């Protein structure tokens, strides 16, 4: 079995993270993971990106968390894939399968509403899963899962969230036949409850992981049954 983290953050790309890309790589390697997906907060989330930069410089600042992790992963024999956590009105979406080139060629990508965001990502061949959809917070005007037409999957287990958030997410995914995934939402390494997915074969690209998730063939690392 090959273990993969699906939801994690690095500093300074994510302002809320407490560890560097290099520290995350070493930690996950020590825990026996085959790979990780870097999902730093995009420019419309809790980003560490300074204000006043050009679009190109903003994107490169954001992307640097992945770039550094990828380099460290090559040294530590840990596969590192690129993703992001995209924010809309306090709700968060994990995005896999888009590229640096896509971001550079789409200034204003950080200002899209749900419908246009979903269409843009899917037109580029990407995958969207809503993260911790039932999380509550003063910054979330309307908590809950969005219409299934706009997403491909649901994070049914987030190791950083209570059962009251995770259980409704699992029920929603089942009701609407959405891809199910689990992740730790790691921001540090000292209080982490490692989660993620396990695959029968090693993923050669992020698209291998997307295919397995969509097919419902990933084993979720979580404390309750998800079938």
**What mean pLDDT is predicted for residues 110-121?**
98
CATH 3.20.20.140 fits 2-221, yes or no: yes
Separation of first and last alpha carbons in the chain? 19
- The answer to whether 5 and 196 have CB atoms below 8 angstroms apart is yes
On the question of pLDDT at 81 being above 80, the answer is: yes
Q: What is the DSSP letter of 176?
A: H
pLDDT more than 90, % of the chain: 95
Per-residue pLDDT tens over the stretch 203-216: 999 999 999 999 99
Residues with Cβ < 8 Å from 145, sequence gap 6 or more? 130, 133, 134, 154, 168, 169, 172
- Give the domain ranges of the chain: 2-221
**What mean pLDDT is predicted for residues 19-24?**
97
Q: Is 144 left (phi over 0), alpha (psi -120 to 50) or beta?
A: left
On the question of pLDDT at 189 being above 90, the answer is: no
Sole residue written with tokens 């090693």: 202
pLDDT the model gives residue 191: 65
Task: Give the integer Cα–Cα distance in Å for 181 and 210.
Answer: 10
**Predicted confidence band of residue 224 (pLDDT cuts 50, 70, 90):** confident
């Amino acid at each position: 079995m090959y273990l993969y983290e699906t939801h994690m953050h690095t500093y300074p790309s994510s302002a809320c993270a407490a560890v560097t890309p290099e520290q995350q790589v070493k930690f996950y390697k020590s825990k026996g993971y085959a790979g990780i997906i870097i999902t730093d907060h995009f420019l419309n989330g809790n980003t560490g990106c300074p204000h006043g930069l050009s679009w190109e410089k903003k994107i490169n600042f954001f992307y640097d968390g992945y770039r550094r992790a990828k380099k460290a992963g090559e040294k530590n024999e840990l596969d590192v894939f690129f993703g992001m956590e995209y924010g809309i009105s306090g709700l968060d979406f994990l995005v896999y399968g888009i590229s640096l080139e896509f971001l550079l060629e789409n200034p204003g990508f950080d200002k899209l509403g749900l419908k246009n965001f979903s269409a843009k990502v899917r037109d580029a061949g990407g995958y969207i899963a809503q993260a911790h959809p039932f999380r509550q917070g003063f910054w979330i005007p309307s908590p809950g899962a969005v219409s299934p037409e706009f997403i491909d999957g649901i994070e049914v287990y987030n190791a950083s969230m209570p059962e009251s958030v995770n259980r409704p997410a699992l029920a929603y995914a089942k009701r609407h036949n959405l891809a199910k995934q689990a992740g730790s939402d790691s921001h540090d390494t000292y209080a982490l409850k490692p989660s993620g997915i396990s695959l029968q074969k090693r993923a050669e690209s992020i698209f291998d992981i997307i295919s397995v998730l969509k097919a419902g063939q990933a084993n979720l690392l979580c404390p309750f049954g998800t079938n």
